Structure 1
Amino acid sequence: MNTDSALLVATGVRKIYRTGSVEVTALRDLDLRVRRGELVGVMGPSGSGKTTLLNCLSGLDDIDGGRVEVDGHDLFAMSDAARTEHRAHTMGFVFQAFNLIPVFSAVENVELPLLLVGTRPRSARRRALDMLDRVGLGHRVEHRPSELSGGEQQRVTIARALAGRPAIVWADEPTGNLDSSMAGQVMDLLCELNEAEGQTIVLVTHDSAVGARVPRLIRMRDGLLVDDIRQDAVGRVALPTAP
């Protein structure tokens, strides 16, 4: 993979959790590149470092060593305020717990992050309505989360993540709270957004059915990347396994 085409470049990333005198290394000098337009799945057993990887590569968590560049910017060379602003303008997030504001309608939930970064209200409303229509919820824009199914709520979170036109979307167990039918629909949507619009997505999952659908699948164990599988091409790139 060529650096020029890489949206995300992580080099030697290390993350250590400390509790008193106890240290747990969650990420071990990890290297990863993600091209623009890739849909990448990350799988591994509980405690392997999947969510820590997502949090560190997005700048939600600090790192203890290494370097992370997203869209040409070194995240950890920035101040906290600059990193927060960069994240707001270039990244979208989809979580297992939908994190919707219960008293807001679907369209209000989608437009809120746009308003927070200074988008004019009329433009924010237009973009929110457009995104809800694109995820198949144009007829549910005034409904509150409690009036929507789990799959519909997750579609609202996807619309919210995409409304700011992010360079990259991070999805942490986006189907984890859904039954298999709804999970399949959400994956259909994510795959469509990736294939039709070239949206870059990094998706953490424990579900092998979800992992089977991504063009590139990374497996983790003990804070290391142990496998990098191109499922849309012949061949497989084997990375060094954990000792």
Structure 2
Amino acid sequence: MAKTYRTGGEDVHALLGIDLDVHPGELVMVMGPSGNGKTTLLNCLSGLDDIDAGTVSVDGVDLFAMSDADRTRHRARRMGFIFQAFNLIPVLSAAENVELPLLLTGASPTQARKRAADMLARVGLADRGGHRPGELSGGEQQRVTVARALVAEPALVWADEPTGALDSRTAAGVVDLLREVHAAGQALVVVTHDETLGRTGQRLVEVRDGRVVFDGAPDASATATAEVSA
């Protein structure tokens, strides 16, 4: 798989020859210096960004052989997303934000509202469903994003710096939630600068200059802390 951005008349090769498999129930941590392709990798693997060469298959289906509408529906059914910037819709309540993936897959409003309430309770926000994102703390907003990512019970969850905007105590709570998700059998791919978090997965993928330079057990990586966290 390859991805090139064209800016100012120049080609920027964001991803070069990426070959990566993620297996059901696997916890994969993606690390590497800033600007080296980690978020682009996640966006391309999930079908949020187009690719210039190669294929991306989820459940045996080539994402880029689908129409945009079919790809959106497939993401809603099979994938969940957790973003560092939360990406919550500010005019909707927490419950309404969590309902969205269900409504996209055809759930009735009544079903969506009940499942959203159950999921908010699971992440400790049973009494905050009626609040809009601007009325919630950063940690609460991130838990809403986790609830939204999980409410449709996706097989695969993508997380881009899920603790990057949080203080250490709040981040620890989000990490605990991610571990619960993995323990329940869902596959997670987590982009992170946090080396402590990065080394808690079953598998570590290191990305540099748009290439995968390491893919294996976290304790086998020889990357120095300072270099990974740069």
CA, structure 1 residues 21+141, in 2 after alignment: closer, same or farther (shift >3 Å)? closer
TM-score (norm 2): 0.91
- For residues 219 and 124 of structure 1, the distance between their equivalents in structure 2, rounded to whole angstroms, comes to 38
- Cα deviation, 1:130-189, whole Å, max 9, x if unaligned, reads 111111222322222233221111011010011111121111111111011111110111
Quote the residue 1:221 is aligned against: 208
Alignment of 1:164-243 (within 5 A): 164-195=152-183, 197-231=184-218, 236=220
- For residues 215 and 181 of structure 1, the distance between their equivalents in structure 2, rounded to whole angstroms, comes to 23
1:20 Cα deviation from its structure 2 partner:
4.8
1:38 aligns to 2:29 (yes or no)? no
Corresponding pairs, count: 222
CA RMSD, 1 decimal: 1.7
Q: Percent identity?
A: 65
Quote the residue 2:67 is aligned against: 79
CA contact (8 A) 1:42 1:220 kept: yes
Unaligned segments of structure 2, at least 5 residues: 223-230
Quote the residue 1:96 is aligned against: 84
CA contact (8 A) 1:71 1:167 kept: no
* Moved >4 Å (runs of 4+): none
- For residues 146 and 21 of structure 1, the distance between their equivalents in structure 2, rounded to whole angstroms, comes to 39
CA contact (8 A) 2:203 2:216 kept: yes
CA contact (8 A) 1:228 1:236 kept: no
- Cα deviation, 1:171-209, whole Å, max 9, x if unaligned, reads 1111111011111110111011101x1111111111212
- For residues 216 and 39 of structure 2, the distance between their equivalents in structure 1, rounded to whole angstroms, comes to 19
Alignment of 1:52-131 (within 5 A): 52-131=40-119
- Cα deviation, 1:80-116, whole Å, max 9, x if unaligned, reads 2221221122111111111222232221111123223
Quote the residue 2:6 is aligned against: 18
CA contact (8 A) 2:73 2:104 kept: no
- For residues 114 and 163 of structure 1, the distance between their equivalents in structure 2, rounded to whole angstroms, comes to 7
1:237 Cα deviation from its structure 2 partner:
7.9
Unaligned segments of structure 1, at least 5 residues: 1-12, 239-243
1:163 aligns to 2:151 (yes or no)? yes
- For residues 136 and 201 of structure 2, the distance between their equivalents in structure 1, rounded to whole angstroms, comes to 27
1:221 Cα deviation from its structure 2 partner:
0.4
TM-score (norm 1): 0.86
Per mean C-alpha deviation after superposition, the further-off stretch among 102-111 and 22-31 is 102-111
CA contact (8 A) 1:56 1:62 kept: yes
- For residues 105 and 125 of structure 2, the distance between their equivalents in structure 1, rounded to whole angstroms, comes to 24
Quote the residue 1:51 is aligned against: 39
Q: For residue 34 of structure 2, give the secondary structure of its aligned residue in structure 1.
A: coil
- 1 or 2 for the larger relative contact order (CA 8 Å, sep ≥6)? 2
Q: For residue 201 of structure 1, give the secondary structure of its aligned residue in structure 2.
A: strand
Quote the residue 2:228 is aligned against: none
- For residues 5 and 163 of structure 2, the distance between their equivalents in structure 1, rounded to whole angstroms, comes to 27
